[in-house]
Amino acid sequence: MSAGPASSRRPSLLRALVRKSEPPRAFYAPEVFGRAAITNIAQALPPLERVYANIRFSILRPKLLSVMDLLLPDEGRILDIGCGFGLFAAYFGQTQPRRRIVGIDPNARRIEMARKVAGKLGLTEHEFMAADARDAAVRGPFDAAYVLDVMHHIPPEDQLPLLERLRDLLSPRGVLVVKDITTEPAYQVRFTELMDRAMVGWEEPLTYRHHREWGEMLSSLGFKVRMVRVPDVLPYPHVVIAATRR
């Protein structure tokens, strides 16, 4: 009669022993808002480029970057469209060191600076290519891609083809993170355009779209789309879109 209770306890004892033998999971939380990562990037840049970096990080503030950081996978190949000096490749590479980021930008001087910054920060697996994202000789698959405040600088007739190309470069279930601005409220769009004009001049066409338009374009390409408006102390109408390839 006593064998019953003892035998009923054995599976529980066995499970307890198995649990003890499993290595504990290691959780790593990057510094809140990644301020140390931004400081490291600024210190790796020459003075003039450091000023530009401070401007960019005042627009894409740490809280906003943290939202995008959580949307990107913590490892694997990630494509950075319009990488410039490699500021965000350096940021996302520091917060999750197992990411291997491939940056594309048409400006060769900026690409060379991006390589130097990555080298100084020990991000040796990052790659950078001077090319136009619309026809760059880049090969997938990528686990993710991101386009940060670049889409409204792309001519309107090229926006959908570029998104389609990015979809084709992603692996199944890969995620495309698009950070851009929406078109409401109107005063915030006007403020954004003034800031853009200060950077690119008055000749370059700018094509702003409402976030519903971005969502419809991405859905038409077969993406599963989620988006969030991110308020800020500065009057930018930020929207972050996570589009997952089906």
**Position 230 in a domain:** yes
Mean pLDDT of the chain: 89
Range of the domain at 213: 28-245
Q: How confident is the model at residue 59, as a pLDDT?
A: 85
Q: pTM for this one?
A: 0.85
Query: 131: exposed, middle or buried (C-beta count within 10 Å: 0-12, 13-18, 19+)?
Result: middle
**Position 19 in a domain:** no
Q: How confident is the model at residue 21, as a pLDDT?
A: 53
**Position 18 in a domain:** no
- pLDDT tens-digit readout, 223-236: 999 999 988 888 99
**Position 22 in a domain:** no
Residue 83 belongs to domain with CATH number: 3.40.50.150
Half-sphere exposure of 166 (CA within 13 A, CB side): 32
Q: How confident is the model at residue 232, as a pLDDT?
A: 84
- pLDDT tens-digit readout, 84-122: 999 999 999 999 999 999 999 999 999 999 999 999 999
Q: If pLDDT is split at 50, 70 and 90, which confidence band does 32 have?
A: low
Total domains present in the chain: 1
Q: How confident is the model at residue 7, as a pLDDT?
A: 47
DSSP letter at 182 equals -
Task: Rank 153-162, 194-203, 231-240 by mean pLDDT and report only the highest.
Answer: 153-162
**Position 13 in a domain:** no
